[in-house]
Amino acid sequence: MIDRRQALLGTLAAGMAMGARAQTPAPHVKGAVIPGLPEPAETIDLWPAGAPGMPHVPPVEAVDERSTDPQLTDRALRGTLRPRMVVFRPAIPNGSAALVTPGGGYARIVIDKEGYEVGRWLAARGWTVFVLFYRLPGDGWAAGPDVALSDAQRAMRLIRHRARDYGILPERVAAMGFSAGGHVCGDLATRFDASTYAPVDKADRLSARPDIAAPIYAVQSMTAPVAHGGSRDLLLGKAASPALEAAHGTANNVSARTPPCFLVHAEDDGTVPVENSLQFRAACKAAKVPVETHLFTHGGHGFGIRRAAGKPAEAWPDLFLRWAQSQGLG
């Protein structure tokens, strides 16, 4: 457990470090602030000299507000140009951190439902949370299908590199992802040591392997009929070969080095079939990787925290916390 003095010292050190160089602000829509839910102000750019492999025509970042309820934000980021993490600090850190990768079908990144809301919830329970705005494969980056994985690897290494600044332990860092962000999470859990970019600094000497992983109603397969067609086409291209599909199906990359995994899915998910999680679970069992799986009869897709309220699926965040504690985190 990190004591109060260490937490305060870490907060001071991080504040001084962040003040030393400007970081790209969090994605924002003017006026989209809900009373009682302050917007996060602290960000960490992943790449000090800009993201590698810039397309000939760089993407243009844009944030869409999709909510018609003035008391509820539902923003989504398109065209990520400067991949970065938004930080949610707990009042007193418990020593554990989570890298959160929201979904959006690889066409956008959901900001609130699978990002900030999860960040606030976990931070209120002592976790230090880093919500990742990763690059999108359809924007033409040189890394192609590995571009989001590159950002996730770099993010995990930066979290460990700065662990003391945040009062966290480098051996207690989780990955959690939703929908297509669940594919990023599953990719990180199974291909954490894949060479997807040239090292840029000391942080890249560290491991990108998460200590635990939680792909939530995740895109896992890239092969029909189980694949989510939109995510598959944006990640691999419509003409992708069966070999390329297999190479980017996360279940095919599970090994004995894959960290313990926590899976959540609804049986009635009409967007990302539950078979995605079932195939990943079977691969974990075959590789003797500890895996906990929660399937709910009702919930659909994209329930996050807010849309699970009042349904059996609303239990999943507490179930995750208990499981994480059993794995030595939280």
Residue 116 maps to which CATH number? 3.40.50.1820
Mean pLDDT, the chain, whole residue set: 92
The pLDDT confidence band at residue 30, using thresholds 50, 70 and 90, is low
Residue 302 lies in a domain: yes
Cβ contact 32:72 at 8 Å: no
Overall domain count for the chain: 1
What is the per-residue pLDDT for 70?
Answer: 79
What pLDDT sits at residue 299? 93
pLDDT of amino acid 37: 78
Report how far residue 269's alpha carbon sits from residue 186's, in angstroms, rounded to the nearest whole number: 19
Residue 148: which pLDDT band, with cuts at 50, 70 and 90? very high
Share of the chain above pLDDT 90, in %: 84
34 in a structural domain: no
- Cβ pair 225, 245 in contact under 8 A: no
Task: Tell me what pLDDT residue 18 has.
Answer: 43
Confidence of residue 31 (pLDDT cuts 50, 70, 90): low
- Reading the block at residue 181, the tokens are 């962000």
Residue whose structure tokens are 């980056």: 141
Structure confidence at residue 35 (pLDDT): 63
Q: Give the 3-state secondary structure of the chain.
A: CCCHHHHHHHHHHHHHHHHHCCCCCCCCCCCCCECCECCCCCEEECCCCCCCCCCCCCCCCEEEECCCCCCCCCEEEECCCCCEEEEECCCCCCCCEEEEECCCCCCCEECHHHHHHHHHHHHCCCCEEEEEECCCHHHCCCCHHHHHHHHHHHHHHHHHHCHHHHCCCCCCEEEEEECHHHHHHHHHHHHCCCCCCCCCCHHHHCCCCCCEEEEECCCCCCCCCCCCHHHHHHHHCCCCCHHHHHHCCHHHHCCCCCCCEEEEEECCCCCCCCHHHHHHHHHHHHCCCCEEEEEECCCCCCCCCHHHCCCHHHHHHHHHHHHHHHCCCC
pLDDT value of position 247: 98
In a domain, 32, yes or no: no
- pLDDT bucket at 12, cuts 50 / 70 / 90: very low
Rank 22-31, 67-76, 266-275 by mean pLDDT and report only the highest: 266-275
The percentage of residues in the chain with a pLDDT greater than 70, rounded to a whole number, is 91
Residue 69, pLDDT score = 84
20 pLDDT more than 60: no
Domain of 257 in residue numbering reads as: 4-27+39-49+61-326
Beta-bridge partner residues of 213:
175, 261
Burial of 238 (0-12, 13-18, 19+ CB in 10 A): exposed
* Residue 186 resides in a domain: yes
184 pLDDT more than 90 = yes
pLDDT in tens, 275-317: 999 999 999 999 999 999 999 999 999 999 998 999 999 999 9
Q: List, for residues 63-113, the tens digit of each pLDDT value.
A: 999 988 878 889 999 999 999 999 999 999 999 999 999 999 999 999 999
Joined tokens for residue 205 = 């000497």
Q: What is the pLDDT of residues 225-254, one digit of tens each?
A: 999 999 999 999 999 999 999 999 999 999
Kindly indicate the confidence band of residue 2, based on its pLDDT and cuts at 50, 70 and 90: very low
In a domain, 275, yes or no: yes
Q: Is the pLDDT of residue 193 over 60?
A: yes
33 located within any domain = no
Handedness of CA 268, 63, 238, 134 (dihedral sign): negative
- Average pLDDT, stretch 242-268? 98
In a domain, 291, yes or no: yes
Mean pLDDT on 139-162? 98
